[in-house]
Amino acid sequence: MRVSRRSHLRNISNFAMPLFSVALVLVSVVLTCSQPANALPAFARKYGLRCSACHESWPMLNYFGQKFKDNGYQLMNDRDAPIWQNPGYWPVTFRIIPLWHRVSTGKVLVDTYSSGNPSPTGSAVQRLTKSGFDLSGLDFHTGGTLEKNFSFYVLPSSDATASFHFETVMARLDNLFGSGWFNIKLGKFELDNLLSEKRILTLTGNGGIYQLYHFIPQGDGNIFGQMGDNQLGVELMGHSYSDRTRYSAALLSSNNGTVQLPYGNAYTGFFAASQAFDTGKAGVQRVGFYAMVGQAPTTFLTSGGPTGPIPGSGIGNKSFSREGFVGQFYFGQHVDLQVVTQHGQDSAWFGQGYGDFIDTGATTTCNGGQPCNNTTGTVLPAGSQGPTWNGILFEPHYVYSPQLIFIGRYETIRMSRQANGPDSASPSASNFGNISTYTIGYRYNPFMTSRAGFAWHNEYNWLHQDGTGPTLGLTSANVNTSELLLGFDFDF
């Protein structure tokens, strides 16, 4: 789950200082009052495990928890088959977060008025700040085994207005041919990368996602390469008995997880592999790679004119790719560091706004104000080129205990080639759309039983993007946004 809000850093210190003071007092109490914690309720009720058995800090998995997940939510013992469970056992957990947050966005274009004139007389750029109490979306998790080696997971999820969709729906055949190297998953599921966005420890609008997993260059029409979104497809996954060696290969519909085939007959592949190794007292380290390589449509048949695309008629497929390195490094029992790198590239057609014609319709235009539809005879503007970029993420954790974890994250994404090159009529600045973001926070779990869990969550995020603000004179402004969030993250 992620909390869907957008978030800046100035004029926050006077307001936030009392809140941080309270937070520091509570932390000092926490450090002297830690107590044992138990597992996530849905599986704890089945196996009677402690939280620390599977989680470094809920919901982030540790090494054992990753192995449990890779085995299809099984411990590989007689308790895996549901026939052995109490008839009253129902593997369901819900999660929601009541919260307070303050969101500050710099450089918002607003109307200006003169005295005695009810109509706008001009415009100005100013900061927009809002604060108050709010809710996250609601998740209903249910998963486990239908029979030994037959697993499932279903997650109906809503936004804060209770508008529901299926975030995850998948069934899995485990240990085919009696081997952990062959497991098949079918449905809508999270891509099998080491750093899971679905188990992210942060909740703000910009800090509650991994920017690398969702980055789209400015003006780009390719929504299909968002690795953080659950995708529809089939996956072959395997691992060694110790789970030290892992691989996965998935074939996905190029529709960003959207049901009912709205785009067409295009497919994407996602591939990942990793290897763990023991470094003695430092712990078990893991390194790996991933690659997302696919095609997606840029042309749609229409009915009733250029603004009437026919769903499912997408053709004119163009290519895109995302590839990178992932590392999980431990430095003793309390400190670890997650690292992700990424190189991304899109076809020049995506860079000019072609691709997501079904959702955007006429709101995204090309070729003199027409909807971006790559029909017969369409020619790219002079100087068009495929956009490319590079990014890196660092996320350190200090785990004081399974109940208390301190979190930090730094992400940056830099364009290496813009869609509008130096030979185009309006070349883009080399840094146009670059992102840098910082997140700090902590989570304290006063308890986590086999029935319920509770976390007191405090977080601050700051994000900077180059050149995407309102135009000031002949130059676009940089935009900074920030968010301070305090909430109760609970499940049952």
Mean pLDDT in each 10-residue stretch from start to end of the chain (492 residues)?
Answer: 36 38 38 36 64 67 73 71 64 91 91 86 89 95 88 94 95 95 97 92 96 96 95 97 94 95 94 94 92 96 86 94 96 94 98 86 68 88 96 97 94 97 93 97 87 90 93 74 97 87
CA 109/CA 125 separation, integer angstroms: 5
pLDDT at 6: 33
Give which of 213, 255, 250 is closest to 233, Cα–Cα: 250
Structural domain boundaries enclosing 278: 13-298+310-353+385-491
Look at residue 20 and give its three-state secondary structure.
Answer: helix
Cβ 382 vs Cβ 425: under 8 Å: yes
Report helix, strand and coil shares of the chain as percent, to nearest 5. 15, 45, 40
Look at residue 140 and give its three-state secondary structure.
Answer: strand
The long-range contacts involving 307-311, CB below 8 angstroms and separated by at least 24 positions, are 307/361, 307/362, 307/371, 309/357, 309/358, 309/361, 309/371, 309/373, 311/260, 311/261, 311/262, 311/263, 311/358
User: Does some domain include residue 122?
Assistant: yes
pLDDT at 48: 64
The DSSP bridge pattern shows strands 98-112 and 479-491 to be: antiparallel
pLDDT at 29: 34
User: Does some domain include residue 379?
Assistant: no
Give which of 432, 50, 45 is closest to 219, Cα–Cα: 432
> In this structure, what is the dihedral angle of CA atoms 443, 129, 134, 44, given to the nearest 10 degrees?
-20
User: Does some domain include residue 95?
Assistant: yes
Give which of 482, 446, 440, 445 is closest to 458, Cα–Cα: 440
User: Does some domain include residue 179?
Assistant: yes
Cβ 266 vs Cβ 254: under 8 Å: yes
The domain tally of the chain equals: 1
Q: What are the Cα distances from residue 278, in Å, to 68, 164, 166, 283, 347?
A: 19, 43, 38, 6, 41
User: Does some domain include residue 367?
Assistant: no
The DSSP bridge pattern shows strands 335-346 and 365-366 to be: unpaired
pLDDT at 10: 33
Report H helices in 330-467. Answer: 348-351, 357-360
CA 287/CA 325 separation, integer angstroms: 8
pLDDT at 307: 79
pLDDT at 58: 66
Give which of 241, 406, 215, 392 is closest to 320, Cα–Cα: 215
User: Model's pTM, two decimal places?
Assistant: 0.84
* Per-residue burial over 410-437, b = 16 or more CB atoms within 10 Å of its CB, e = otherwise: ebbbebeebbbbeebeeebeeebbbbbb
Give which of 437, 441, 447 is closest to 490, Cα–Cα: 447
User: Does some domain include residue 304?
Assistant: no
CATH number at 214 reads 2.40.160.10
User: Does some domain include residue 365?
Assistant: no
Other beta carbons less than 10 A from residue 473's beta carbon: 6
User: Does some domain include residue 363?
Assistant: no
CA 394/CA 372 separation, integer angstroms: 36
